A = this chain, B = another copy of it.
């Protein structure tokens, strides 16, 4: 009996005609622990975004353009229809394939109310039910149980009690008695703790309730809280096991409770309504303050980027001087091992993307033993990587020429257009009120002029020793209309991809700061570039840069040399000095 057959039997046993299986855990984040890899267990598909629907005789897996090839390789075509999520939306597939009056189950802990609403047009009856996979997955791994530890005040910059008081005042102003916190990143920020339950992201999986008097009920496996952390949390935070969460929601009879309809599992609002609470839709109250880094977090980000730059410059020098015989995997390993030497290093912030030649054109390429290829002279090599340090999170992409060899004019022109976009965004000055969708085009206009573009966003928010992909702001056409504000950290990563040939991406992190402009009648903002590493001048067509762009690049390179040079050995420093010399 296949796993699919076993799940179908469990679905039938519940009196259902089908079941929806998203790639999600109880916190709806980007990474999930092995215990929550239900979609991969059932379908074989291991991509980070997907959803399956199981009906009595048909079943389908849906993913987006990043993963369509991987889906075809991983999900058995004899069992699964493999669908592109925008070409064949799950709701449309369900409408076409579910019997009239079908009752389709879902696990309300694994899907938001907003995601559920997208199934409205399918015309089926959606039924919250026990997860049939959990009933038949025998060798399911245990949930993660890494200890949650204090995030020191030197890095956090503000005591938790003060953060809680500010959010509580916001709830009070809004006439709300409590807020559901189902996002472990928000909880980590609010309580100044960090964990190790997930790869790449230092959070402890937990839920919490924040009350309008500033108290917090934290629902977490007590085994994950050593004594030092319990003392750190203090009296304002009551700790209980996750099994107590439902009962705590049930006590909120008659209370107004804020629940984020996009980021919180539907179960919370359903349980609260059933208990007689009034559910008010609103964003997770941690989301915006977490995004606006305070001075200590900003200082931490600068310090972390300053150290990260040492590994980056050593790596780039080695690539240019001594990398004969290197492969994608060995190059990424080299950069990782250089970062490991740095104080405060706690791991990668995401799986590195190291693509040589045509692999660089695969935007979410991940080198494997099977795909790994040597870096060939004359090709370009794209490496997008980042690290978690105890004081900050980094994310940087450079595209370099593998020597010896001379890049052709078209490649240099395209690299330079990407660089022009990167500079246009980095140097932009804009008034308060401007959001990501308003400025995305500045990073693209130089490409657009030549009929070129890239099919990904220009920037994402970045956490402070937290997720490298952090809301609520982003720089893209479809990002949320949340105004940029001082202290936010965002990536600046325009690119260009020529399928089958090469990829170019140039990424620094930016810190939003106030700009004091004499005589300005209103507050203006701009960016401080945090990342410090040279751009490959062999790939720059200098004639395409105007005077402003050349000045920006020379100033940036001088800053890199001044900050990083003194910390390098003589040979690497010499390489850096040459790489950072003013343009010809």
Contact = CB atoms under 8 A, between A and B. Distances in A.
Interface of A: 428-431, 433-434, 437-442, 445, 448-453, 477, 515, 517-522, 524, 546
B431 A448 contact: yes
A449 to B, nearest CB: 5
Given A451-B517, A518-B451, A521-B451, A477 B434 contact: yes
A509 B549 CA distance: 31
Contacts of A445: 428-430, 442
Contacts of A515: 451
Given A441-B441, A453-B522, 17 more contacts: A428-B448, A429-B445, A429-B448, A430-B441, A430-B448, A431-B448, A434-B441, A434-B477, A438-B438, A441-B442, A442-B442, A448-B524, A450-B517, A451-B515, A451-B518, A451-B520, A451-B521
A263 B251 CA distance: 45
13 contacts: A429-B445, A429-B451, A430-B445, A431-B453, A434-B477, A437-B438, A438-B441, A438-B477, A442-B445, A448-B524, A451-B515, A451-B519, A452-B521
Contact of A438 (B433, B440, B451, B524): B440
Contact of A520 (B433, B434, B440, B452): B452
A433 B92 CA distance: 24
Nearest to A476: B438
Contacts of A434: 441, 477
Number of copies: 2
B546 A433 contact: no
A451 to B, nearest CB: 3
Contacts of A439: 441
Contacts of A452: 520-521
Contacts of A524: 448, 451
A378 to B, nearest CB: 22
A518 B519 CA distance: 45
Contacts of A517: 450-451
B449 A429 contact: yes
A434 to B, nearest CB: 7
A420 to B, nearest CB: 12
A54 to B, nearest CB: 29
Nearest to A483: B477
Nearest to A522: B453
A453 B517 CA distance: 13
A477 B430 CA distance: 12
Contacts of A546: 546
A190 to B, nearest CB: 29
A445 B443 CA distance: 13
A78 to B, nearest CB: 35
A145 to B, nearest CB: 45
A445 B423 CA distance: 14
Contacts of A428: 445, 448
Nearest to A478: B481
A450 B431 CA distance: 11
A521 B447 CA distance: 12
Contacts of A440: 438
Nearest to A520: B451
Contacts of A431: 448, 453
A61 B364 CA distance: 56
A546 B547 CA distance: 9
A545 to B, nearest CB: 12
Contacts of A448: 428-431, 524
A243 to B, nearest CB: 39
Nearest to A499: B521
A572 to B, nearest CB: 36
A519 B429 CA distance: 33
A451 B518 CA distance: 8
A441 B433 CA distance: 12
Across the A-B interface, give the 5 residue pairs with the lowest CB-CB distance, nearest first: A451-B520, A451-B517, A429-B448, A429-B449, A438-B441
Contacts of A453: 431, 522
B433 A477 contact: yes
Contacts of A438: 437-438, 440-441, 477
Nearest to A498: B521
A519 to B, nearest CB: 6
Q: Which of A429, A448, A453, A477 has the most CB of B within 10 A?
A: A448
Contacts of A477: 433-434, 438
A438 B434 CA distance: 11
A544 to B, nearest CB: 12
A477 B451 CA distance: 25
A59 B437 CA distance: 41
A522 B452 CA distance: 8
Contacts of A521: 451-452
Nearest to A453: B431
A451 B523 CA distance: 8
A546 B451 CA distance: 22
A92 to B, nearest CB: 14
